Every structure is written in structure tokens, then in C-alpha cells.
Amino acid sequence: MDHPAAAGGRPVVTCEGLVKVFGDVRAVDDVTLAVHEGELLALLGPSGCGKTTFLRLVAGFERPDNGRIELAGTEVAGPGRHVPPERRHVGVVFQDYALFPHLNVAANVGYGVRDRSTRADRVQAVLDMVGLTAVADRYPHELSGGQQQRVALARALAPEPAIVLLDEPFSNLDAALRVEVRNEVRTILKRAGATAVLVTHDQEEALSLADRVAVMRAGRVLQVGTAQVIYERPADPFVAAFVGDADLLWGEVGHDGVATPIGILQTSAPLASHGTNGGERALVVVRAETVRLRLDGSGPAVVRRRTFYGHDQVIEVELDTGEVIRCRMGPGRAFEPGDRVRVSVTEPVVAFPASALA
């Protein structure tokens, strides 16, 4: 996967200290973030963390209470300044697509292209790019969900915006179509050379689609990085648990690793770098795919639940300490609820010393 940001593309969007308050909710709370030319950035976080509000601030549908936004080198929001949405050169793909029902596909796509002399050519070029030329004369209700999604994307791209903002763009598609359409959307955005921000609460979507992922919680951006970095070097326990299947276990830092209820676990980075002394408590991230179970009548855990997915399964075990961890493994029928097991972990773990936690 290409990473334009890593290649040092110039910033198209720059937000500094962005704040938006609704009553006593700080929906966006001091967000500083840059999106680089040609980059697809996913804003990932649980429901209500402020993702949509952030997009609405960038699009100009909301005014920030503090901070500033620069788009393509021009300040569009800041103290005493608010450039209206129609003058920001931003393309938006809404969750429900918001297509004009009384306009056919070509007219929907051409809607935002101001220059009448080039409109027809531009519509044709964009329809070609998204593969919709054959349905140019149809109306939105005559299209499949995936086609409607592509019309919405084509409409956003047609005026050649500085940035495309996509708000949960796949949530109206069924699971099978979602994977296909999201790959298609990435291909189209890359082909167009577009810079884009995509909002999602689906970690798989964010990890598989974006060049970089920004993880958000309660209005704040906790970490920005490539999918690999976010997954392997999460900045805090929330990011670790939210991105990927992970459980958190308390342990005690020793000279040879962290002592936990499932044994001494090696850490992927030396804890000394956090200024940790032996004996300190640490929160350990246990990824389900690294957990192995072995039937053992005197083991420290009991199988509580087995969830079968076909390609794999997740076995939930409860430790005698009351803590629960999950094991993702192949689909063979090896463990049943009630089985007593011993638990091991195949990879070094990420650990956060208590002193490093807020």
C-alpha cells in the first residue's frame, strides 16, 4: 500500500487546536491534525467520539469554538473567520448518499461543476473513472446500493475538490458488498489522486483502507499513524483494545518480563524506556490471535464461551482472577465451555507501566 504522507506530501488540511462544544459536551476537544496531498486518512473511533463533528467543521457546516483550519494553504476557519461550505472546495459523501432523486446519474454528478463549458466532458470523465457510464441516464432509485455509493463519490469528485470527506460511507451496504465497494472506493480515490478523510467506527475498515489512521476518543485524537504502527505500537491501552481484538491484563514488572496471571510475558519494547522500575504494575495488551490454549485440569483458566465464525473461532476464557481473555484460533472443535485450560502467548506483548497511564 502506498503512503503519500510518509513520502512527505504537502498538507492539504491543517487543523490546530480545534474545539467544538455542544452544551457541556466537548464534541471535538483540541484536535491538531494534518492530512497530506493524495492521502486517505481514516478517522476511527466509537460512536459519539466526535468524528462527524470534525468532518462538519472541516466542511464548514459548523463553526469551531476555538482553533483554526487551513485548506490548501488558505485559512477557512479561525478567530473571526468562517469561509462558507460552498467556497471551501470540499466534496462530501454522506452516509445516506443524499443523491438528488429527481436528477439522473449524469445530472447528479454534474451538479457541482460550475463551468458549463466543461461540465459534460468532466461528467463523462468521472463516470468513466467510477465505471458508471452505462447507467448515466438512470435515476437513483433504479440503482443498486453499490452504484448509488459510486454516484455519490463521483458527484463529490467531479468539481475536483481540494479534499473529499466521507462520513461512514459503507454503513448502508450489506456485509458482502461492503468489502467489495470499499476496495473500489479506495481504487477510485487513488486513481483520482484525491486527498480524503473517511470517518468510521469499524476498525477493520480503517486498517484495511487508509494510508493513515487517526484514533479518536471523547473528542480527542489519541494517535495518528499507519495501520501497522497503530496495531503494533498503540499509544495507550484504549487504542490497543479498540484496534484489533485485544484484552488488557494487569501484571507486575520484573527483570525478565511482566508477571501476569498467565505467566511471565516478554514485552516488545523495553519497559525501562518508560522509566519503569521492577515491581511496578503494568497493563499488558494480549492480542487474541497470539493466545494459545492447552487443556489442563490444573490450569488457571476456564473456557466460558466459544464463538464460531467459519474461517476461525474465538474462545473466551475466564482466569481465576476474574479477568477474561480471548483466543482466536482455527475452526477445529478443540475446546468447550467448562474446560480448564492453561494459557500462553506466542508474541512479545505491548505493556503500559501504571506510571505512564493518565
Residues that bind ligand ATP (CB under 6 A): 22, 25, 27, 45, 47-53, 201
How many CB atoms sit inside 10 A of residue 1's CB? 12
Cβ-Cβ contacts under 8 Å for 76 (sequence gap 6 or more): 60, 69, 70, 82, 83, 88
Q: Buried b / exposed e across 52-64, counting CB within 10 Å, b at 16+?
A: bbbbbbbbbebeb
> Closer CB to ligand ATP, residue 56 or residue 155?
56
Q: What angle do CA 95, 98, 101 make, to 5 degrees?
A: 145
CB of 167 to ligand ATP, least distance (A): 8
CB of 63 to ligand ATP, least distance (A): 12
How many CB atoms sit inside 10 A of residue 281's CB? 15
> Closer CB to ligand ATP, residue 57 or residue 163?
57
> Closer CB to ligand ATP, residue 130 or residue 230?
230
CA 217 to CA 212: how far, in whole Å? 17
Cell of 234: 498503540
> Closer CB to ligand ATP, residue 59 or residue 130?
59
Question: Given the DSSP bridges, would you call strands 163-167 and 11-22 parallel, antiparallel or unpaired?
Answer: unpaired
- Dihedral sign of CA atoms 291, 212, 90, 174 in order: negative
Do the beta carbons of residue 32 and residue 66 sit within 8 Å? no
CB of 45 to ligand ATP, least distance (A): 6
CB of 36 to ligand ATP, least distance (A): 23
CB of 25 to ligand ATP, least distance (A): 5
CA neighbor of 101 nearest in space, from 151, 152, 158, 139: 139
**H-state helical runs in 79-115:** 105-110
> Closer CB to ligand ATP, residue 77 or residue 135?
77
Q: What are the counts of helices (DSSP H) followed by strands (DSSP E) for the chain?
A: 8, 21
> Closer CB to ligand ATP, residue 25 or residue 259?
25
Amino acid letter, residue 139 = Y
> Closer CB to ligand ATP, residue 56 or residue 287?
56
CB of 219 to ligand ATP, least distance (A): 7
